[in-house]
Chains A and B, each alone.
Chain A
Amino acid sequence: MGALVMSKAITIDGKSVSFIDGQTIMDAALAAGVYIPHLCHNPEFEPHGNCKLCIVSVNGRNMTACTMPAAEDMVVASDTPELDSDRQALVQMLFVEGNHICPACEASGNCQLQAAAYYLKMLSPHFMHFYPPREVDASHPDIFLDLNRCILCELCVRASREVDGKNVFGISGRGIGTHLVVNAASGRLGDTNFAVTDKAAQVCPTGAILIKRQGYKIPIGQRTFDHKKISEVQMEPAKRTEPEHE
C-alpha cells in the first residue's frame, strides 16, 4: 500500500523525489534528504511563506517551496546560482532591515539567520543599513524580547497560537511598517500569560526572543552551528538545540 501511495514523484534538481498527496515541495524535499534553504519554515507548524528563502523554480515559475503543494511531474530547480543569488540578497535585506549586531548577540552560533548567511556565502550586507529604531521589552521575568532582531518569520505567532493556545504574538502594520506585536493592552510581554516553557519561547530563529540570563553559557565550539552547516542541522529537526531553562 505504502509503495502505491508513494508512487507519485516530482523532480528536484534532476533527482526524482517521491511525495504523497498533501505534501508541499518542502515536505517532500526534506523527507527525501534534499535541502532547500529556509528560515520561516518549521515542519511543526503550518507553512507561511514569509521569508521567501525557499523560493524554487517550478516548471519555470518561482514559487515558495514551503507553501506549494507537490504535484506529479513537477520539475523543480532549487540549487542554482540564480536562486542562490536571490536567496543571498533576501538574507542581506533581512540583515539591513533590522539591527543584527552578531559580535555582541548571544544567539551568535545558534542563530539561523547568521547560519543561513554563511550557507549562502554572504560576505557583506551589500545594501545600506536602515538602522531602524526598534523596541526592546524586558518586562517579562523570564523572557527578553528584542525586536531589533525580529525577521517577521511568525514562528512565535504560529507556535503560540497552534501549540500553546495563547495567541501571545501577532503581526501588525503593512509593508515596511510591519512589526511584531504583543497581545496585551499595554503591549508589554510582562502583561501576558506567556511562559518560558511555551513552545513560542523556543522557536525564534534569531536572538529576538531570548530566555533571560542564559547569555553565553554555551561556550564557543558547542553552539549549534559551530561545526555544522544550517543545511545539516535543518535536515535533522529532532536534534535542534534548544536553550536550557534555569
Chain B
Amino acid sequence: MTFALETAAHPENLKRIVIEPVTRVEGHGKVTLLMDEDNRVHQARFHIVEFRGFEKFVQGRPFWEVPVLVQRLCGICPVSHNLAACKAMDMIIGATVPVAADKLRRLMHMGQILQSHALHFFHLSAPDLLFGFDAAVGKRNIAGIVAAYPDIARQGVGLRRYGQEVIRLTSGKRVHGTGVIPGGMNKNLSLDERDYLLKEIDQIIAWSQAAVELIKMIYSERPDFHNGFGFYRSSFMSLVREDGALDLYHGGLRARDEHGQTIFDHVDYTHYWDYIHEEVKSWSYMKFPFIRARGREQGWYRVGPLARINNCDFIPTGLAEAERKIFKEFGGGSATQATLAYHWARMIEMLHAAETIQELLHDPDLQSDDLVSNGERQLRGVGVIEAPRGTLIHHYRINEDEQIVRANLIVSTTHNNQAMNEAVRQVALQYLDGQQLTEGLLNHIEVAIRAFDPCLSCATHAIGKMPLEVELMDAAGTLIQRLIKDSDGQCRA
C-alpha cells in the first residue's frame, strides 16, 4: 500500500532535499523530500536509518536476563522496556505479581513518565514552542530557554531530576537499574527513601501544574495555528483500565477510529496479533503496524499521550482529570486530532504521574517484604505497557531449557510510524510546497516529528549538535542552493 506523497510517480527528475539527522529527538532519523523545479512536493518520507537487532541477539539468552538486556535499547526510557519485558516474564513463570511489587513497579513507571515527559517538553520542544518554529536557530535550544526563561528551565531540570530519583530508589540506579525481576521486585522502598521523595512531591506537583498552564497558554494564544499545524485525522490506540480509566501500567487495548467509533475495546493484549499486523517497507528500518480489521490502507493509528488522553474515559487523579476535561472541551467534546495537541496531552500525563507518585508514597504496601511470586511455567510471554511515547509490546517464546527462541518488540514509535510520515507530508504541503527553502521552514517538519517525542532507537544525546546539510538541486542535478547547519546551530550557505 502506498499513501499520497509516499512515493512520487516519476522521481527521476526531481530534486532531493534531505534533513539528516532530525534533531532534538531521541535516536537517528532523516527526512527526504522530492520536489520539482517549482518546489512542489511530490514525495515526503520520514526514515529510520538505524538497525538495532535486539530481537535477534536475545535469542539463546536465559529468559530472566532479558529484561535487563533489552532495557539497553534506550537511555531515556529503559524502565519501559524493563517493565514490558518483565511483564512478559511474569507470564512465562506463571506469576501473579504481589500487590506491593505491582505498586513499586507503578511508582517506578511514574518516575519514568515524569522524567521522560519533562525532558521532552522542556529540553526538546520548548525552544520551538516558546521562541517560534523559525526563530533564530542559535536561540532555539535549551541554552536559549535557560537564558530567556530561567525559571521554566529550572523547573524542567527539577522535574526530570525528581523522576530519575524515583527510578533510582526503586530500581537501584538512575539509568538501567535491576529492581524489576520476573515475578516481582528485588527491593521495597524503605521509610527513609519514602521520606526523601515525599519532601519534594508537593513542589513537583506544583511545577507539573505550571507546565500544563504553560502549554495551555501557548496553545490558546494561537489556537487555529496550533490546531491546523500538520493536521490530519487518524485512529488512536492505547491501554485503558477495566473501568475505562487512564492506566499507563496495565489494562486492555482500546482503539477508536478517526470519528471516535470503537474499533476494539478491552482487548487482552496477550493476543495482540489478532488485532495488529505489521508491514515492512523497503525504505525504512522501522515496520508499519496497522489494525488488522481495517486493513493496511485504513488501519494505521496513533499512540502516545494524545491517544491515551483521547481514549480514556477519565483520569483517576483529581488535578489531571480536571485538565483532561478542559482539554476535551477544547476539542469540542470529541477526540482532539491536532498534532501539536500531543504536547498538551503529555503535560496532563506528567501531572497525573506526579499525583500518582504522591498517592503511592503514602501507601504502606511499598514497605512490604512480600515482593516475589512464582507459578506454573509457560513457554510464551507477552508484556504490554504504556511507555512515555505510547503502547509498548514485548513478546517472547522460550524453549524447555529456558532460553529465548523468538522475540518480537513493537515499540511505541513504531506504532506512530505512518502517523509521523503523515505529519511530515501535511507540513510539507502546508509550509514548504512552492516555497524557497529556509532553515526555519525545514524546522517546521522537525517540529511535527518532535510532537510525537519519537525514540528512534536508543538515545544519542546529540541534541541539536549534529551538523545538518541541505542541498537543493535542479532537475539536471546542478546544485542551486545549499544550507549547512553547524554543530553550534549556526546556519550558513
* A, B from the same assembly: yes
**CB within 8 Å of B: which residues of A?**
103-106, 136, 138-139, 144, 190, 210, 212-221
Q: Measured between alpha carbons, how far is A32 from B23 in the docked complex, in Å?
A: 59
B402 within 8 A of A: yes
Cross-chain contact B65 with A219 (CB below 8 angstroms): no
Q: Measured between alpha carbons, how far is A93 from B157 in the docked complex, in Å?
A: 41
Given A215-B181, A219-B187, A139-B401 contact (CB < 8 Å): yes
Cross-chain contact A212 with B181 (CB below 8 angstroms): no
Contacts of B171 in A (CB 8 A): 220
What are 12 A-to-B residue pairs whose CB atoms are below 8 Å? A103-B72, A136-B61, A138-B402, A190-B401, A215-B62, A215-B182, A216-B64, A217-B186, A219-B178, A219-B187, A220-B171, A220-B178
Q: Specify which of A136, A138, A139, A216 is in contact with B178 (CB 8 Å cutoff).
A: A216
Cross-chain contact B186 with A218 (CB below 8 angstroms): yes
- Considering only CB atoms, which chain A residue lies closest to B173 in the complex? A220
Q: Measured between alpha carbons, how far is A218 from B403 in the docked complex, in Å?
A: 21
Q: Measured between alpha carbons, how far is A212 from B181 in the docked complex, in Å?
A: 14
Q: A216-B181, A218-B186 are in contact. List 17 more A-B contacts (CB 8 A).
A: A103-B72, A104-B68, A104-B72, A105-B65, A136-B60, A136-B61, A138-B403, A139-B401, A212-B402, A214-B64, A215-B65, A215-B68, A215-B181, A217-B181, A217-B186, A220-B173, A220-B178
B444 within 8 A of A: no
B39 smallest CB distance to A (angstroms) = 47
Contacts of B181 in A (CB 8 A): 215-217
Contacts of A105 in B (CB 8 A): 65
B483 within 8 A of A: no
B177 within 8 A of A: yes
Q: Measured between alpha carbons, how far is A119 from B372 in the docked complex, in Å?
A: 34
B244 within 8 A of A: no
- Considering only CB atoms, which chain A residue lies closest to B172 in the complex? A220
Cross-chain contact B68 with A220 (CB below 8 angstroms): no
Main secondary structure of the interface of B (DSSP, over half): loop
Contacts of A221 in B (CB 8 A): 172
B176 within 8 A of A: yes
B179 within 8 A of A: yes
B491 within 8 A of A: no
Total A-B residue pairs with C-beta atoms closer than 8 Å? 55
Cross-chain contact A219 with B402 (CB below 8 angstroms): no
- Considering only CB atoms, which chain B residue lies closest to A104 in the complex? B69
Q: Which 3 residue pairs of A and B lie closest in terms of their CB atoms, listed nearest first?
A: A220-B172, A215-B64, A138-B401
Cross-chain contact B172 with A219 (CB below 8 angstroms): yes
Cross-chain contact A106 with B68 (CB below 8 angstroms): yes
Q: Measured between alpha carbons, how far is A80 from B171 in the docked complex, in Å?
A: 39
Contact string, B52-76, partner A, CB cutoff 8 A, digits 1/0? 0000000011101100110010000
- Considering only CB atoms, which chain B residue lies closest to A139 in the complex? B401
Given A215-B181, A215-B182, A136-B403 contact (CB < 8 Å): yes
- Considering only CB atoms, which chain A residue lies closest to B186 in the complex? A219
B: number of interface residues (CB 8 Å): 23
- Considering only CB atoms, which chain A residue lies closest to B70 in the complex? A104
Q: Measured between alpha carbons, how far is A218 from B72 in the docked complex, in Å?
A: 20
A139 smallest CB distance to B (angstroms) = 6
Q: Specify which of B64, B69, B177, B403 is in contact with A220 (CB 8 Å cutoff).
A: B177
A207 smallest CB distance to B (angstroms) = 9
Contacts of B178 in A (CB 8 A): 216, 219-220
Contacts of B65 in A (CB 8 A): 104-106, 215
Q: Specify which of B61, B62, B172 is in contact with A212 (CB 8 Å cutoff).
A: B62
Contacts of B179 in A (CB 8 A): 219-220
Contacts of B176 in A (CB 8 A): 103
B152 smallest CB distance to A (angstroms) = 34
Q: Measured between alpha carbons, how far is A219 from B186 in the docked complex, in Å?
A: 6
Contacts of A103 in B (CB 8 A): 72, 176
Q: Measured between alpha carbons, how far is A218 from B185 in the docked complex, in Å?
A: 10
- Considering only CB atoms, which chain A residue lies closest to B398 in the complex? A138
- Considering only CB atoms, which chain B residue lies closest to A217 in the complex? B186
A154 smallest CB distance to B (angstroms) = 24
Contacts of B372 in A (CB 8 A): 217
Q: Measured between alpha carbons, how far is A144 from B61 in the docked complex, in Å?
A: 10
Cross-chain contact A216 with B68 (CB below 8 angstroms): yes
Given A104-B65, A136-B60, A216-B186 contact (CB < 8 Å): yes
Contacts of B403 in A (CB 8 A): 136, 138
Contacts of B187 in A (CB 8 A): 219
B432 smallest CB distance to A (angstroms) = 42
| B 153-186 contacts with A by CB, 8 A | 171-173, 176-179, 181-182, 186
- Considering only CB atoms, which chain B residue lies closest to A210 in the complex? B62
| B 400-424 contacts with A by CB, 8 A | 401-403
Contacts of A144 in B (CB 8 A): 62, 402
B234 smallest CB distance to A (angstroms) = 37
Cross-chain contact A138 with B62 (CB below 8 angstroms): yes
Contacts of B401 in A (CB 8 A): 138-139, 190
Contact string, B68-101, partner A, CB cutoff 8 A, digits 1/0? 1100100000000000000000000000000000
Q: Measured between alpha carbons, how far is A190 from B68 in the docked complex, in Å?
A: 26
A174 smallest CB distance to B (angstroms) = 27
- Considering only CB atoms, which chain B residue lies closest to A106 in the complex? B65
Contacts of B182 in A (CB 8 A): 215
Contacts of A104 in B (CB 8 A): 65, 68-69, 72
Q: Measured between alpha carbons, how far is A147 from B261 in the docked complex, in Å?
A: 55
Q: Measured between alpha carbons, how far is A106 from B186 in the docked complex, in Å?
A: 13
Contacts of B172 in A (CB 8 A): 219-221
B164 smallest CB distance to A (angstroms) = 15
Contacts of A213 in B (CB 8 A): 64, 402
B192 smallest CB distance to A (angstroms) = 13
Q: Measured between alpha carbons, how far is A109 from B171 in the docked complex, in Å?
A: 15
Contacts of A215 in B (CB 8 A): 62, 64-65, 68, 181-182
Contacts of A210 in B (CB 8 A): 62
Contacts of A190 in B (CB 8 A): 401
Contacts of A216 in B (CB 8 A): 64, 68, 178, 181, 186
B227 smallest CB distance to A (angstroms) = 44
B451 smallest CB distance to A (angstroms) = 32
| B 370-391 contacts with A by CB, 8 A | 372
Q: Measured between alpha carbons, how far is A138 from B60 in the docked complex, in Å?
A: 9
Q: Measured between alpha carbons, how far is A190 from B179 in the docked complex, in Å?
A: 31
Q: Measured between alpha carbons, how far is A221 from B187 in the docked complex, in Å?
A: 10
Q: Measured between alpha carbons, how far is A218 from B172 in the docked complex, in Å?
A: 11
Of the listed residues A103, A216, A217, the one surrounded by the most CB atoms of chain B closer than 10 A to its CB is A216
Q: Measured between alpha carbons, how far is A5 from B257 in the docked complex, in Å?
A: 89
Q: Measured between alpha carbons, how far is A105 from B401 in the docked complex, in Å?
A: 19
Q: Measured between alpha carbons, how far is A138 from B72 in the docked complex, in Å?
A: 23
Contacts of B64 in A (CB 8 A): 106, 212-216
- Considering only CB atoms, which chain A residue lies closest to B177 in the complex? A220
